[in-house]
Amino acid sequence: MRLKTILEGIDNNIVERLHGTIRERTKVMGGLDNEQSAIRMIEGQRIYCNYLRPHMALNGKTPAEVAGLNMELAKTSGNR
């Protein structure tokens, strides 16, 4: 089903963004060999997006930080 205008309120931008992110990752991997590797890749992406990747809509914080979870993860690779 296609919407006539963006004002109709239904939006699939979030899903399209996720598809683009997964496509970028799998393109350099040469594809996924089996279901288990697909599950691992998606789980890694979920962890990255929720705990490590800052979001502009959250003022540069991760969803975990906004939820009050202090994971005490280093912000740079030099800090361990």
Rounded to whole angstroms, how far apart are CA atoms 43 and 27?
Answer: 17
Q: Band of the pLDDT at 31, cuts 50, 70, 90?
A: low
| Domain assignment of residue 32, given as a range | 12-66
Residue 61 bridge partners (DSSP): 55
What pLDDT is stored for residue 79 in this prediction? 43
**Amino acid identity of 80?**
R
The structure tokens listed for 16 are 């399209």
59 inside domain: yes
39 inside domain: yes
| Domain count along the chain | 1
Read off the pTM: 0.57
CA angle (30 as vertex; 22, 34 as ends), nearest 5:
80
